[in-house]
Amino acid sequence: MREILRQSNIDLLREINRLKSVVYSASVLPELVTYQAQILITCEMLRRQGQQNLRDLDLNRDELLPDILSETQRLASWFRLYNERFAGPILRSLPSDQLCLRIIAWLHDHHPETHRVPAALSDGGFGIWPEPQFPIVYIMPFSRQRGLLYLPLFFHEFGHLLYVCHEAKMDELVYELQKSIADLLESTPQQDDLSAQEGAKRRRAIAVTWYLWTQEIFCDAVGFAIGGPCFAYAFSMYLRTSGRDAFYLPRSQLEFSHHPVTWLRIHFLADQVRRAGWPKEAEKLENEWSKIAATMGVTEEYHGFYEDRFMPLIRKTIDDMLTVASPWEFLDEDVAPSEWDPQSSSPVHLLNTAWRMYLQDPASYDSWEEQAISAFLESHGK
Amino acid sequence: MSTDWLAVQSFQRTQELLTAINTLSIHTKLELAGIADDERAEAAAKAREKLALFLKAFDKIVREAEQTNGETLLGIDPRMEQLARKFVAARRDRARFHSPLFTQSLSEAANLLAPTEAKDRQALVEYLQDLRTLVEEHLHADIHQILHQF
């Protein structure tokens, strides 16, 4: 066993050194330099762990072998994570990443919890790896990285990072909401012919499901708080063609699901838009989704996982969560129809302008966008 | 929009726990064998602190899991709840989990992380071994969600 472990640790050390060397030699954009340094520090930490395992093997104590095996396995999976996931954003780095990286850096710099926290970009479906102990990676589909219109969706992903930064308080607020929903359901006589036990089980499942649903609705609220209308446009446009399951899911798929049905998220988003002073935009947003639903013959039904009487409870919880997380909020000038100024306007103003330009005249949008991206990169590079 | 973030958080938490378990286990075994392990003493002290904090917080979740008779818990990350359920089941599985400390409450076990007597050190080693088995089995699901199986 000792020899097996020695071989494995020597092999891991060789691979760690190779990764370290490749990451070190990579020529990266200035926005990725801190992230690159973070990966190199971890590679060094992994290398030291491998050497410690070899020193522990040299003690020739059989009773330590299970511990050294576990440490070797831990090292191997840690290394895999860096080799397969976190090194990618450096080694795949392209000049075109600069647009996304500048937006992400601006986002991180405008919040005390994430100020100077390095982050990188990877390819794939929208997502984030938000554990502050790891390098932060934002994930976005290829073509969406190249334009302005879908960048506001990073603001939703940033919400997940804010949740983790304030996890204990957030969990407490979500727990209160879950209890309130459970109490509300408990106080209502059972409508269908479920046994008392089955009814209690179902009520519990609904309350539990709201743990993850609340986090998603909170992230949508963070997205709107930061981006304003551009977030609502991006969110709706990106998701409204994703298919029937954006509008309806059977009860069995709703139970313990990770995301609420998107149509429900649209209602919460519209509620936020309305409360921010844009009733017409909120109505338009909901109407568009209703039209698509009607075309598919879908009737709104959440099988008890959402009822209108939940709305005030959820709204209050989300408002409290926003107070705790305190994201940067868009300013009047960020949503004003005034021309975006590369020297003085925020990126949020740029993204709102992009949506206004696109909705006004999609045909001439691409040439405007190209110039706007150049101006943005030039001004934010100084 | 991806849900990998749940697995990433769970992976990180479990890895930290595993490091603490292994560090303290090696240190305690070397103490039992009368071998000086000064180099790891500070890391072992930190591991003890980390485990004590974890066990006390986890105790609350495990108690709730025992009381709710299989019902899902409110206000808790689903992966953490799954670990608590596995712990409750493991305590009943005497064929696989032998450590006498495993049957005690987690807060009682947390008080035994700094033993001075040889028999207590041996008990701690056995406890850490059982805890490691449980944590490693739990980690498996996160690894396979984040990283692809070969």
Instruction: Give the C-alpha separation, A46 to A65, whole Å.
Output: 19
CB < 8 Å from B in window 94-153 of A: 124-131, 133-134, 139
Enumerate the residues of chain A whose CB falls inside 8 A of the CB of residue B6: 212, 258
Instruction: Give the C-alpha separation, B9 to A25, whole Å.
Output: 30
Tens of pLDDT, residue by residue, chain B (150 residues): 556 667 777 788 888 999 999 999 999 999 999 998 999 999 999 999 999 888 888 888 888 887 776 666 777 777 888 888 888 888 888 788 878 777 777 877 877 887 778 888 988 998 899 899 888 888 877 777 777 656
ipTM for the predicted complex comes to 0.88
For residues A259 and A352, membership in a common domain is answered with: no
Element (H, E) at A120: strand A119-123
For residues A92 and A131, membership in a common domain is answered with: yes
For residues A234 and A96, membership in a common domain is answered with: no
Element (H, E) at A139: strand A136-140
For residues A185 and A137, membership in a common domain is answered with: no
For residues A158 and A127, membership in a common domain is answered with: no
Joined tokens for residue A170: 């957030």
Joined tokens for residue A326: 């305190």
CB pair distance less than 8 Å for A171 and B76: yes
Amino acid A342: pLDDT: 86
Enumerate the residues of chain A whose CB falls inside 8 A of the CB of residue B77: 171, 211
Amino acid B2: pLDDT: 54
Enumerate the residues of chain A whose CB falls inside 8 A of the CB of residue B118: none
Q: Which residues of A268-304 are buried (b: 16+ CB within 10 A; e: fewer)?
A: bbbbbbbebebeebbeebbeebeeebeeeeeeeebeb
**Cα pseudo-dihedral A260, A261, A266, A271, rounded to 10:** -50
Joined tokens for residue A219: 């992230």
Q: Which of A123, A145, A167 is the last residue of a domain?
A: A145
**Nearest CB to A164; choose among B9, B30, B71:** B9
Enumerate the residues of chain A whose CB falls inside 8 A of the CB of residue B5: 127-131, 160
Instruction: Give the C-alpha separation, B72 to B64, whole Å.
Output: 10
- pTM summary value: 0.86
Nearest CA-CA distance, residue B138 and chain A, Å: 13
Enumerate the residues of chain B whose CB falls inside 8 A of the CB of residue A127: 1-5
CB < 8 Å from B in window 165-194 of A: 171-172, 174-176, 178-179, 182
Q: Where are the domains of chain B?
A: 4-146
Element (H, E) at A61: none
Q: Which of A96, A115, A145 is the last residue of a domain?
A: A145
CB pair distance less than 8 Å for B3 and A259: yes
Q: Which of A97, A124, A145 is the last residue of a domain?
A: A145
Nearest CA-CA distance, residue A59 and chain B, Å: 10
Mean pLDDT per 10-residue interval, chain A, length 382 residues: 96 97 94 94 96 96 96 94 92 90 94 90 89 86 93 96 92 92 82 71 86 94 97 96 92 87 96 95 96 94 93 96 96 88 91 96 94 90 58
CB < 8 Å from B in window 66-85 of A: 66-68, 70-71, 73-74, 77-78, 80-81, 84-85
Cα distances (Å, whole numbers) of residue A323 to A109, A162, A214, A226, A242: 19, 11, 15, 13, 32
Residues 6+ apart with CB under 8 A from A289: A236, A240, A247, A263, A266
For residues A125 and A252, membership in a common domain is answered with: no
User: What is the DSSP track for A262-328?
Assistant: HHHHHHHHHHHHHHTT-HHHHHHHHHHHHHHHHHHTPPP--TTS--GGGHHHHHHHHHHHHHHH---
Q: What angle do CA A263, A265, A269 make, to 5 degrees?
A: 115
**Nearest CB to B2; choose among A74, A125, A208:** A125
Nearest CA-CA distance, residue A127 and chain B, Å: 5
Spatial contact of A327 and A159, defined as CB atoms under 8 Å apart: yes
Instruction: Give the C-alpha separation, A132 to A114, whole Å.
Output: 9
Residues 6+ apart with CB under 8 A from A309: A184
CB pair distance less than 8 Å for A207 and B74: yes
For residues A44 and A112, membership in a common domain is answered with: yes
**Nearest CB to B129; choose among A66, A80, A129:** A66
For residues A138 and A225, membership in a common domain is answered with: no
Q: What is the 3-state secondary structure (H, E, C) of A189-256?
A: CCCCCCCHHHHHHHHHHHHHHHHHHHHHHHHHHHHHHHHCHHHHHHHHHHHCCCCHHHCCCCHHHHCC
For residues A19 and A66, membership in a common domain is answered with: yes
Element (H, E) at A19: helix A2-25
Is the CATH number 1.10.10 carried by domain B4-146?
no
Residues of the domain holding A230: 153-325
CB pair distance less than 8 Å for B72 and A64: no
**Nearest CB to B4; choose among A71, A127, A179:** A127
Closest alpha carbon within chain B to A66 = B129
Enumerate the residues of chain A whose CB falls inside 8 A of the CB of residue B78: 211-212, 256
Mutate to test the interface with A, among B3, B5, B124 (most CBs of A within 10 A): B5
Q: Strands across the sheet with A136-140, in order?
A: A119-123, A136-140, A127-129
Amino acid A10: pLDDT: 97
Q: Where are the alpha helices (DSSP H) in chain B?
A: 4-32, 38-67, 78-92, 106-110, 118-146
For residues A137 and A198, membership in a common domain is answered with: no
Amino acid B142: pLDDT: 76
For residues A132 and A276, membership in a common domain is answered with: no
Mutate to test the interface with B, among A123, A211, A313 (most CBs of B within 10 A): A211
For residues A320 and A218, membership in a common domain is answered with: yes
Give how many domains chain A has, as a whole number.
3
